[in-house]
DNA sequence: GCGTGCGATTGACAATTGTCAATCGCCGGC
DNA sequence: GCCGGCGATTGACAATTGTCAATCGCACGC
């Protein structure tokens, strides 16, 4: 299957017991027997950049956990535009609204190739009732979504475009242990910051000229953390 | 006690059994005996505009429900400014982070005189475990916070200042059954929309000149819903 | 009644950002 | 190799928004 395909690729049944990010995600604290007791299938998906996990308004049947990669939550605006309201990384949970409503509130689209677990809502709802650890983890994940949304308001939607971009780069940079990190397109940056694609492009180009970020064909090389921080707090 | 005081005024112990908004709030579905079984005190507060329910970073010991009035959640920015990230009205729950963390994430300040119940976190945590209805209501409230935050991103932080203001007025207007509704200050409108106080003032003044909103000394009289909607979708 | 103070409004100007269009660079298909 | 397409960049200009300062209006205390 080609990269940039629209649908995630099914890899197999998830092996939660040996999952390397299990402790970060919903099922931390569950014993192996408890994991075995899950009847419905938890699927392990690999999704290329561009793949859509679900679409805004579609019936919500599953919750997802991100094991690697980067996922965006996008909302379509009445005037035809779109706004990205969340960036989700390993350890984050996607589509919690499936547990209390019957429709997804956003479109979830993969930004960087991702490994993702798809968990039927019934599984989570049952574990929520039977396992205090899962229950607590669920509340924490929900609060995490609120915190992330708040951060989008205060950091990525406040101040000058330049300051917002600096904060976005810092936010993205936090995840950069791997140097194969690829920047979002200028269009996505615009949708993240509530500015136009052209303004996003201008600012990035200017940052590069000023030596604040270094990249090669969109791939991250390095950045001036200190100067970016200064801009972010202006 | 004078209006605009800093602290809420204690009215008495809450009578949840006869609360007129109980069915909207956390304890819908609880029977009277179950309510009686609550050992710790749920206080009924009356707070004037300007009162602070809690401050960002303070130890989080209680969850609040809004029974009447209007409450804002404010965040202090590193550069000295501030941003309002939520507006809470009757039926909304404030300070849920108390259930999974030990600090409040915002400052909660009353915008319009409000009746508010203060519920110790232990009470909510216990009911969450013993009552499936409360548990479900809790998840729904959390999701509602996420939805409200998303709305702040997509509606109040996207597009031109004029369009944002139109959306804010529509948002505020939804609550206007009572004509004693008072508009937020221009400063608060600016903090709500991520624009300066002056720009907020200019837009409101222009709206009034164009007959889009009618007010008298800050009190709402009426508005041109149709034209506001047109601006909101532009 | 009369200052006083605070919030709202307005003006003038600068800076930022959006709009529209052209160009550039790169990658993949043929 | 060459062409076509797409995303990034840039230019020119208009529109919006921020900044700084002055003024206005109104409520409040004395």
- B188 to chain A, minimum CA–CA distance in Å? 14
CA distances (Å), origin B39, targets B8, B18, B93, B122, B179: 23, 18, 21, 10, 39
Q: Is B1 on the interface with A (CB under 8 A)?
A: no
Q: What is the pLDDT of residue B23?
A: 65
Q: What is the pLDDT of residue B46?
A: 92
A24 falls in which pLDDT band (50, 70, 90)? low
B32 falls in which pLDDT band (50, 70, 90)? confident
The answer on pLDDT for A39 being more than 80 is: no
The answer on pLDDT for A3 being more than 60 is: no
A-contacting residues in B 21-60 (Cβ below 8 Å):
none
- pTM for the full predicted model: 0.93
CB contact under 8 A, B142 and A147: no
Q: What is the pLDDT of residue B174?
A: 61
pLDDT in tens, A148-189: 999 999 999 999 999 999 999 999 986 565 666 889 999 999
Report the residue count for chain B: 234
A220 falls in which pLDDT band (50, 70, 90)? confident
Q: Is the distance between the Cβ of B89 and the closest atom of strand C smaller than 7 Å?
A: no
Phi, psi of A27 (to 5 degrees): -100, 20
Long-range Cβ contact pairs of B167-170 (< 8 A, separation 24 or more): B167/B232, B168/B192, B168/B193, B169/B207, B169/B212, B169/B213, B169/B223, B169/B228, B170/B225, B170/B228, B170/B229, B170/B232
Q: What is the pLDDT of residue A4?
A: 46
B8 falls in which pLDDT band (50, 70, 90)? confident
User: By C-alpha distance, which of A62, A17, A68 is closest to A41?
Assistant: A62
B160 falls in which pLDDT band (50, 70, 90)? very high
Give me the DSSP letters along B150-194.
Answer: HHHHHTTSSS-HHHHHHHHHHHHHTTTTSTT-BPPPHHHHHHHHT
pLDDT in tens, B163-207: 999 999 999 986 565 656 889 999 999 999 999 999 999 999 999
| Spatial distance from the CA of A167 to the C1' of C23 (Å) | 30
Mean of per-residue pLDDT scores for chain B:
89
């Amino acid at each position: 299957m080609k990269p940039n395909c629209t649908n995630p690729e099914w890899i197999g049944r998830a092996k939660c017991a040996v999952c390397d990010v299990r402790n970060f995600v919903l099922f931390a604290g569950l014993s192996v027997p408890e994991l075995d007791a899950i009847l419905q299938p938890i699927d392990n998906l690999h999704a290329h950049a561009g793949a859509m996990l679900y679409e805004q308004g579609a019936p919500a049947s599953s919750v997802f956990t991100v094991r690697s990669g980067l996922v965006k939550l996008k909302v379509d605006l009445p005037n035809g535009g779109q706004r990205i309201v969340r960036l989700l990384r390993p350890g984050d949970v996607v589509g919690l609204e499936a547990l209390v409503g019957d429709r997804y509130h956003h479109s979830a689209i993969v930004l960087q190739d991702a490994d993702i677990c798809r968990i039927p809502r019934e599984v989570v709802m049952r574990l929520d009732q039977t396992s205090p650890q899962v229950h607590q983890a669920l509340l924490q994940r929900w609060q995490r979504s609120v915190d992330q949304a708040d951060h989008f308001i205060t950091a990525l939607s406040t101040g000058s475009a330049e300051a917002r971009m600096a904060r976005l780069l810092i936010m993205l940079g936090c995840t950069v242990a791997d140097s194969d990190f690829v920047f979002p397109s200028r269009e996505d940056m615009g949708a993240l910051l509530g500015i136009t694609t052209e303004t996003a492009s201008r600012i990035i180009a200017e940052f590069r000229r000023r030596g604040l970020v270094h990249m090669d064909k969109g791939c991250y090389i390095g950045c001036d953390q200190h100067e970016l921080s200064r801009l972010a707090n202006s």
